[in-house]
């Protein structure tokens, strides 16, 4: 990576085109500048007018936002080729010209993307626009961090490009993206709501429970779908804004691929790496929220002491502890979970902290962690084989890692649950639950019903 001194955009564009000519190969240029504060939802909305797809990421408690417009560069593959993606990303960075004096997290060149849950599952047309592994470097990236806004322009310059022309395009797009004189349209209105294969799903839960009781597995996570039809094409920007306003303690994310947009509000962090510190989360075990403070506290207390939910949770802690031990030191995991409240439900939660050992990257951690028994089960192979064979749906990107990484080895991935795939006038919502020996189909059905609500409520439900 060539870090340039402070130069004007015109000058670095000229450098990039010259370099493309010298190398006879495209040259990635990344140029970051602090800008006036911008509303991230308006930026996302306006990004619809820029060629290419959009991405969104936020953690509202931390006032951290990443909003990407257009693709400067993409890396995609069928299958989970973690090493291959990492190699391509590292090689792209090593040849990039970067001007980023601020070096704030999430600024400069970032790769934003995700994975499918299980590349070995038969694919359904629902997910036809998504690859098993797919990352993009947004052409325009808004980063809001510590109450400051930054705009990074990532551009692949080619030998035949004219620096002045590129400059003109960038300036025009910048004006468009940061235009604050727009209002967000309304969210969608539902015409039809269908839960897919509920009876069959309950049957599968029963089969999984039987298998567990016979000792073939400890835990199997099973998911189901709900389909919505809207009156008009759903616009994503107001949905993201509403998610952000209603779902605290969550990551709000969106990844667009042509006419489709996968989005959600997930409470589950898979891994965050910051200055080689690793943070992960064990999240499993669920109960509803109470209507009054007393009822809420009673339900939370019962959840903490409930044998079935504690078992569901412990399988996750055990596996994450082992996975993290393989690539970290100074591991810190509390003995007991605590209650993690969300708007519509509460979970058992155990935070994980560790120090990533030299020679390991965020991809090494993802590869070891995915899928945790919060989405797959235990043992991993047995549960995945069961899901592959018995689950009636294609999870696609639901339940899989989604997130970003920057040029300084920092990054963060969440597990894409509480999510939906919006496709024009339709949306598919996903919800799953951990089946253990004491599970009953009806209780698991109710649990998955509550897990639809974060998405359903912002989609007009
Ligand atoms: C699989 C989902 O949730 C997981 C995460 C937290 C709690 C879970 C549970 O209690 O079953 C699930 O393992 C989902 O929301 O679709
Ligand atoms: Mg559960």
User: ipTM, 2 decimals?
Assistant: 0.99
Of 219, 226, 283, 452, the one to substitute when testing ligand 1's pocket (max ligand atoms within 8 A of C-beta) is 283
Helix (H, G, I), strand (E, B) or coil at 246: helix
Atom in ligand 1 nearest the alpha carbon of residue 313: 10
C-alpha 348 to ligand 2 mean position (Å): 9
Residue 444, in any domain of the structure:
yes
Clarify whether residues 166 and 288 are in a common domain: no
Identify whether residues 259 and 319 lie together within a single domain.
yes
The alpha carbon of 346 and the centre of ligand 1 are apart by a number of angstroms equal to 11
Q: Is residue 340's pLDDT more than 80?
A: yes
pLDDT at 2 over 90: no
Residue nearest to atom 1 of ligand 1 (CA): 432
Top mutation candidate among 316, 348, 432, 439 for ligand 1, by most atoms within 8 Å of CB: 432
Report the length, in residues, of the chain.
461
403-431 residue pLDDT tens: 999 999 899 999 999 999 999 999 999 99
Query: 18 and 167 in contact (C-beta within 8 Å)?
Result: no
285 Cβ closer than 6 Å to some ligand 1 atom: yes
Q: Could you tell me if the CB of 221 is within 6 A of ligand 1?
A: yes
Q: Is residue 156 part of a domain?
A: yes
CA of 284 to the centre of ligand 1 (A): 6
Residues 144 and 284 in one domain: no
Query: Coil, strand or helix: which one is 213?
Result: helix
Q: How is residue 35 written in tokens?
A: 């800008």
Pocket test for ligand 1, best of 287, 350, 374, 445 (most atoms within 8 A of CB): 374
- Distance from the alpha carbon of residue 313 to the mean position of ligand 1, in angstroms: 10
Q: To which H or E segment does residue 388 belong?
A: helix 380-390
Residue 148 lies in a domain: yes
Smallest Cα–Cα separation from 225: which of 27, 5, 8, 396?
396
Residue 184, in any domain of the structure: no
Indicate whether 54 and 198 sit together in one domain. no
- Ligand nearest to the backbone CA of 316: 1
Q: Are residues 95 and 225 in the same domain?
A: no
Report the interhelical angle of 163-177 vs 9-23 (nearest 10°): 130
- The residues, any chain, with a CB within 8 Å of residue 359's CB and separated by 6 or more, are none
Q: What is the mean pLDDT of residues 301-321?
A: 98
Q: What is the mean pLDDT of residues 167-196?
A: 96
Number of structural domains in the chain: 2
Averaged confidence pLDDT in the chain:
96
206 is annotated as an active-site residue: no
Q: Is residue 196 located within the same domain as residue 173?
A: no
Residue with token string 């192979």: 381
Q: How many CA atoms lie within 13 A of 275 on its CB side?
A: 2
Per the structure block, which two tokens stand in for 148? Answer: 């400051």
Q: Which long-range contacts (CB under 8 A, 24 or more apart) does 83-86 make?
A: 83/363, 85/133, 85/135, 85/363, 86/361, 86/363
The ligand minimizing its distance to the Cα of 431 is 1
**How far from 27 is each of 130, 219, 428, CA to CA, in Å?**
27, 48, 39
Q: Is 171 annotated to bind ligand? A: no
Asked if residue 247 and residue 196 are part of one domain, the reply reads yes
Return d(Cα 129, Cα 301) in angstroms, integer.
Answer: 44
Among 144, 177, 210, which residue terminates a domain?
A: 177
* Structural domain span for residue 144: 2-177
Helix (H, G, I), strand (E, B) or coil at 196: coil
Residue 210 zone, left/alpha/beta (φ > 0; ψ -120 to 50; rest): alpha
Phi/psi at 144 (nearest 5 deg)?
A: -110, 120
What the block records as the tokens of 70 is 């257009």
CB atoms under 10 Å from CB of 29, counted, come to: 26
Note whether 335 and 452 are same-domain residues.
yes
Per-position b or e across 344-375, b if 16+ CB within 10 A of its CB? bbbbbbbbbebebeeebbbbbbbbbbbbbbbb
Helix axes 198-213, 380-390, angle to 10 degrees: 150
Q: Which two tokens stand for residue 198?
A: 């509920």
pLDDT-derived band at 1 (thresholds 50, 70, 90) equals: confident
Atom of ligand 1 nearest to the CA of 419: 16
| DSSP label at residue 259 | T
Q: For residue 431, which atom of ligand 1 is closest to its CA?
A: 16
Q: Is 86 a catalytic residue?
A: no
Q: Give tens-digit pLDDT for 257-309.
A: 999 999 999 999 999 999 999 999 999 999 999 999 999 999 999 999 999 99
Q: Compute φ and ψ for 328, nearest 5 degrees.
A: -135, 165
296 and 267 in a common domain: yes
Asked whether residue 194 falls in the same domain as residue 296, the answer is yes
- Alpha carbons 29 and 64: distance in angstroms, whole number: 24
The catalytic residue among 88, 121, 219, 241 is 219
- Interatomic CA distance for residues 254 and 87, integer angstroms: 25
Instruction: Compute, in angstroms, the gap from residue 449 CA to the centroid of ligand 2.
Output: 12
Would you say residue 5 has pLDDT above 80?
Answer: no
In this structure, the residue with its CA closest to atom 6 of ligand 1 is 284
Instruction: Give the confidence band of 6 by pLDDT, cuts at 50, 70, 90.
Output: confident
Give me the DSSP letters along 334-375. Answer: -SS-EEEE-SSEEEEEEEEEEEEPTT--HHHHHHHHSSPTTT
Q: Which ligand is nearest to the CA of 440?
A: 2
Cβ of 142 less than 6 Å from ligand 1: no
Q: What is the mean pLDDT of the segment spanning 45-58?
A: 97
**Nearest by Cα to 260 from 129, 133, 429:** 129
CA distance 283 to 373: 9
Last residue of a domain, one of 177, 208, 230: 177
- Based on the fold, state whether residues 94 and 149 are members of the same structural domain: yes
Whether 105 lines ligand 1, by a CB cut-off of 6 Å, is no
Q: Residue range 358-364: average pLDDT?
A: 95
CB 434 less than 6 A from any atom of ligand 1: yes
Q: Is 375 in the pocket of ligand 1 (CB under 6 A)?
A: yes
Ligand nearest to the CA of 417: 1
pTM over 0.90: yes
* Ligand 1 atom with minimal separation from the 418 CA: 15
User: In the listed set 177, 211, 242, which residue is the last one of a domain according to the structure?
Assistant: 177
Q: Which of 256, 268, 314, 444 is catalytic?
A: 268
* Residue 273 belongs to domain with CATH number: 3.60.120.10
Q: Using CA atoms, how far apart are residues 134 and 414, in angstroms rounded to an integer?
A: 15
Residue closest via CA to ligand 1's atom 2 equals 432
447 annotated ligand binder: yes
CA distances from 67 to 57, 64, 140, 238, 332 (A): 6, 10, 8, 14, 32
Centre a 10 Å sphere on the Cβ of residue 271 and count the other Cβ atoms it contains.
29
Cβ(47) – ligand 1 distance below 6 Å: no
């Amino acid at each position: 990576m060539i870090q340039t001194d402070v130069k004007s955009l015109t000058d670095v564009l000229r450098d990039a085109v010259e370099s493309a000519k010298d190398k006879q190969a495209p040259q990635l240029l990344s140029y970051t500048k602090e800008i006036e504060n911008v509303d991230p939802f308006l930026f996302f909305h306006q990004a619809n007018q820029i060629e290419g797809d959009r991405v969104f990421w936020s953690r509202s408690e931390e006032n951290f936002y990443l909003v990407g417009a257009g693709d400067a560069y993409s890396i995609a593959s069928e299958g989970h080729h973690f090493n291959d993606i990492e190699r391509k990303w590292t090689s792209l960075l090593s040849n990039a010209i970067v001007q980023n004096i601020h070096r704030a997290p999430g600024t400069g060149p970032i790769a934003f993307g995700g994975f499918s849950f299980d590349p070995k599952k038969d694919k359904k047309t629902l997910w036809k626009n998504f690859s098993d592994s797919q990352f993009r470097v947004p052409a325009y990236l808004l980063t809001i961090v510590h109450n400051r806004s930054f705009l990074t322009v990532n551009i692949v310059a080619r030998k035949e490009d004219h620096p002045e022309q590129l400059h003109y395009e960038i300036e025009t797009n910048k004006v468009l993206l940061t235009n604050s004189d727009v209002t967000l349209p309304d969210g969608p209105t539902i015409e039809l709501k269908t839960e897919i294969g509920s009876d069959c799903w309950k049957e599968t839960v029963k089969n999984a429970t039987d298998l567990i009781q016979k000792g073939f597995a400890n835990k199997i996570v099973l998911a189901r779908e709900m389909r919505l039809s809207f009156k008009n094409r759903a616009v994503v920007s107001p949905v993201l804004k509403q998610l952000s306003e209603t779902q605290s303690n969550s990551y709000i994310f969106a990844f667009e691929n042509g006419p489709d947009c996968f989005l959600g509000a997930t409470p589950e962090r898979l891994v965050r790496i910051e200055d080689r510190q690793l943070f992960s989360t064990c999240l499993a075990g669920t109960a509803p929220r109470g209507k009054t403070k007393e009822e809420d506290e009673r339900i939370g207390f019962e959840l903490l002491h409930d044998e079935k939910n504690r078992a569901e949770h412990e399988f996750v802690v055990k596996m994450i502890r082992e996975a993290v031990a393989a690539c970290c030191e100074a591991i810190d995991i509390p003995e007991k979970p605590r209650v993690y409240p969300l708007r519509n439900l509460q979970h058992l939660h155990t935070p994980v902290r560790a120090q990533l050992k030299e020679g390991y990257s965020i991809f090494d951690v993802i590869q070891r962690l995915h899928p945790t028994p919060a989405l797959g089960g235990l043992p991993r192979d047995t549960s995945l084989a069961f899901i592959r064979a018995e689950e009636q749906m294609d999870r696609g990107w639901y339940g899989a890692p989604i997130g970003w990484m920057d040029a300084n080895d920092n990054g963060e991935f969440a597990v894409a649950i509480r999510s939906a795939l919006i496709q024009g006038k339709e949306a598919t919502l996903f919800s799953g639950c951990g089946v253990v020996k004491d599970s009953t189909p009806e209780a698991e059905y109710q649990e998955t019903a509550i897990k639809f609500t974060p998405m359903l409520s912002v989609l007009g439900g």
